[in-house]
Structure 1
Amino acid sequence: MPRINFTKKAIDSLPIPPDGRRATYTDNKVQGLELRVTSKGTKTFSCQRWIKATGRPERVTLGRYPGMTIEQARKHALQVSSAIADGNNPAEVQRQLRGEPTFEDLFADYMKRHSIPRKRTWREDQRNYDRHLAPTLGRRKLSSLARKDFAQVHSAISKTAPAHANKVLALCSVVFSWAIGAGVWDGQNPAASIKKNQVRSRDRFLQHHELPRFFQSLAAEPSDTARDFFLACLLTGARRANVLAMRWDQLDLGEGVWRIPDTKNGEPQLVTLASQLVSVLEGRWQSASSPWVFPGSGKTGHYQEPRKGWERILARAQALGIVKALATAEAWEDSLVNEAAELALTRPHHVQQRYTVEIERHGLDPESFALANLRIHDLRRTLGSWQARHGASLAIIGKSLNHKSVQSTAIYARLDIDPVRDSVTRAVDNLLAAGGLSELGEVVPFDRSRS
């Protein structure tokens, strides 16, 4: 039986035996570890050890290569050797190996006992597992998972989403930390101490020159639920999850106040409602048939996934930017401006097709007119930014947005709702004015002079 150093290069280059034959190779690093190669090219790790009680050797199958790595096979072979040395039956050792929980088992236990009962963001945990962890790590035995496995997952996600990669890595570490604390795992935390990506704090918000296009695109949104939802996100600065779950019994429209009973930082929040938003909510209340301000058809009963509506708004805003640039460059007549603007608001994806020649002639880049990288969460940041622009203190902004920090929490707690209301009202008035609106729902003529 040939002895070789089990390396990826060595195993991948092993010859395929003739039909009906099988070749067996022994690792020269871990005693008893073998690799059997069939005539069909199947390569299987096993551990063969001499059993004193029977006076004959026994073989325990470990797993197939490359699904089981060399490092994993060596680790399992040492476990088998140790168990047999302690007098355990090889068949029992095999059953223990097969019965060891997988990462999928551990994560399900974590969700059931910790995440769902205690975390408002448990659905995000499940989505991150399903998308990034289940395909590669879900079926792996816990003892086979090493630090490099989680480092590879982190590295793969980092190529396109560095900040999100950090979140997924943190989730993995939390799962193992919980398991160790709960006594369901007595090993190490393989996701700990992996270097995270350096990510700059995001400071994107709607700029002055972007507001007219944004408000025109928002007003043209055919779904009143999506339109009013995004408006509420912008004018309250509240977190998306809280706006989605807004209930009528949390609102006092007469006083212009929304009381959120449970927020991300674990404390209730009193949100001041600008008069413009109160008018919109009063309109929704007149036809309300659900306890939710933004009802939906899903299990929760409220609106859940606003992403498609958001994409429609951004597409219209980009199309308006293209039309405006062409109108300025070619001095279009008002009739053509109005026609093109209507097309941008109703069929935005056709704008680029219709004006392809003009766009190329002027050397315009359609992507330069997109509201680049604008996310739904940036609407929350927009209100705070406009408050700061118009003189609000950091304490007032923190109270408005329900920020929580060691340094400023005591200050926030002493603030009254009135200065917060004044600050939000001033910010909303100026924000709407910059967008060419004085009252919500007003149709604003297309102004080519605005950038």
Structure 2
Amino acid sequence: MIKNKINFTDTKLRKLNHDGSTKRLYFYDAGQPALSLCITPAGTKSFQFQAWDRARGKSVTKSIGKYPSVAINHARQLAANLLTEVNKGVDVIEAAKAIKNEDTLAVIFSRWLDVYAKPHKKSWDEDKRRYTLYIDKPLGSKPISWFSPNKIRKWHSDITKLPKQRGTGTITGTTANRALALLSTIFSQMAPERPNPCKSVKKFREQSRDRFLQPSELQRFFDGLAKPETPPTLRDYLLLSIYTGARRNNVMQMKWVDIDFDQHLWRIPASQSKNAEVMIVPLVAPAIQILKTRKAKTSSVFVFDSSRSKSGHIEEPKRAWKSLLKRANLSDVRIHDLRRTMGSYQTMTGASSTVVGKTLGHKSQSATAVYARLNLDPVRSSMEAAVEMMEASRELREKVVNIKEK
């Protein structure tokens, strides 16, 4: 019988004290083989794993953690896991050293950014921004072996308690889901030999945004753009965004070489298309007029050039957009909603979902074959009808109804 073998309980362990000698005292758990409690002459109590390594013919001792910081049940579980590894022939001491020296998530992410994201993703800068905002501070310093589904689940939930960077309220579940998806991708591509701790974490339910500018809002939008306080470049950028229904990054990166003034077409290269395919966008008359006016005043390769940015073209005008919304008395409107506005007005004029999908560059397995056969003429006609309807809102005037009391 092992000396000092007892059934570990909080009551018993709290009562255990050192005998005053200069030696360490050891007590062994009757409930879990290989688990012991060490008490130093100073009175510190720590759990240890002690077992015989048959494969190497030696005794193995490994610290588990101090009591009561480490609960008894947790210490038992860790000891059971270690014992299983030892019985399999694993050198748990060397394995622990490898874990101690392993890369952190921050190192793994940096490597992923260079190997996978930058060479293959056009939106890698968005991944970097998302990592910096929601992942780096709470998780960046953690080694890969630290992660578990429960820890990821808590982090995912905690994101929704963070305050928004702009405005009021907290971060949405949709944003938390995007961060979770990014983290899962990093684990899948950079640590494929390990179980992905993100796989069993349930995402928050998301609600699709269906915001677009109503006729009265379009009137205020156009009026706001026409005011002298609105910079001409911002005005043209936003008008082309709504006239083409293109993604904001594509409009910002638009080059003159991709504009066909004869055919009234804009060719978005595959390298800039979200679907990695060339996209042809019909250009309606108001869009062509804006482009001709800008072309006569510039020698840049970009339609919206900027000497202030490293890219050479304008970046997302967040402050200018916010100021415009204030002048136009509009709220809860994003630049991306201009793209949705084009699709919505196409639908109002009777365009089919296939035509709208072709306009906006949507791609789905069921629609791919149809898109391949679709002529651009109905797409152009639909866009022209939608723009005509939107332009008609410029003439709207809000009516004031006076109600007289009888």
**Counterpart position of 2:286:** 276
Alignment counterpart, residue 149 of structure 2, candidates 147, 150, 156: 147
CA contact (8 A) 1:62 1:76 kept: no
Q: Contact 1:111 / 1:122 at 8 angstroms: preserved in 2? A: yes
Matching residue within 165, 176, 179 for 2:176: 165
Pair 94,272 (structure 1): closer, same or farther in 2 beyond 3 Å = same
Q: For 1:63 and 1:107, locate their aligned partners in 2 and report how far apart those are by CA, in whole Å.
A: 32
Matches of 2:238 and 2:68, distance apart in 1: 51
CA contact (8 A) 1:102 1:142 kept: yes
Q: 2:257 — aligned with what?
A: 249
Structure-2 residue corresponding to 1:196: 203
Aligned partners of 1:408, 1:137: CA distance in 2, in Å?
40
TM-score (norm 2): 0.77
Report the equivalent of 1:316. Answer: 327
User: Residue 398 of structure 1 is aligned with which of 357, 365, 371?
Assistant: 357
Between 224-233 and 376-385, the greater mean CA deviation after superposition: 224-233
Which stretch of structure 1 is more off in the superposition, 135-144 or 105-114? 105-114
**Which of residues 107, 110, 113 in structure 2 aligns to 1:111?**
113
TM superposition shift of 1:104: 1.9
Aligned counterpart, 2:238:
230
Relative to structure 1, is the Cα distance of residues 381 and 79 closer, same or farther in structure 2, using a 3 angstrom cutoff? same
- Normalised by the size of structure 1, how large is the TM-score? 0.70
Query: What is the rounded CA distance, in whole Å, between the counterparts of 1:136 and 1:102 in structure 2?
Result: 12
Aligned to 2:212: 205
Query: Aligned partners of 1:26, 1:317: CA distance in 2, in Å?
Result: 75
In 1, distance between residues paired with 2:230 and 2:172? 31
The residue type equivalent to 2:225 in the other structure is: L
Query: Structure 1's 47 and 228: CA in aligned 2 closer, same or farther, altered over 3 A?
Result: farther
Inter-partner Cα distance in structure 1 for 2:249 and 2:107: 29
Q: Is the 8 A contact 2:34 2:51 kept in 1?
A: no
Q: CA deviation at 1:287?
A: 2.0
Q: How does 1:67-86 map to 2 (within 5 A)?
A: none
CA contact (8 A) 2:243 2:284 kept: yes
Identical-pair percentage: 34
* Displacement after TM superposition at 1:300 (Å): 1.9
SS of corresponding position for 2:281: strand
Alignment size in residue pairs: 373
Deviation string, structure 1 residues 139-192 (Cα, Å, up to 9, x no partner): 11211111122212222334531222222222222222223xxxx442211101
Is 1:175 matched with 2:186? Answer: yes
CA contact (8 A) 1:240 1:376 kept: yes
What residue is the counterpart of 2:386 in the other structure?
427
Q: Is the 8 A contact 1:396 1:419 kept in 2?
A: yes
Cα distance in structure 2, aligned partners of 1:151 and 1:89: 28
Partner residue in 2 for 1:349: none
Query: Does the 8 Å CA contact 1:242/1:260 hold for their aligned counterparts?
Result: yes
Counterpart mapping for 1:348-367 below 5 A: none
- Among 207, 211, 215, which residue is 2:222 paired with? 215
Q: Which runs of 5+ in 2 are unaligned?
A: 16-23, 162-170, 402-406
Q: Quote the offset at 1:77 in angstroms.
A: 6.4
Residue 133 (structure 1) aligned with residue 135 (structure 2): yes
**Contact 2:82–2:92, Cα closer than 8 Å, also in 1:** no
**Secondary structure, aligned partner of 2:324:** helix
User: RMSD value over aligned CA atoms?
Assistant: 4.1
- Match of 1:435, SS state, is helix
TM-superposed deviation, 1:207: 0.5
1:252-331 equivalent positions in 2, closer than 5 A: 252-262=260-270, 263-296=273-306, 297-318=308-329
Deviation at 1:431?
0.4
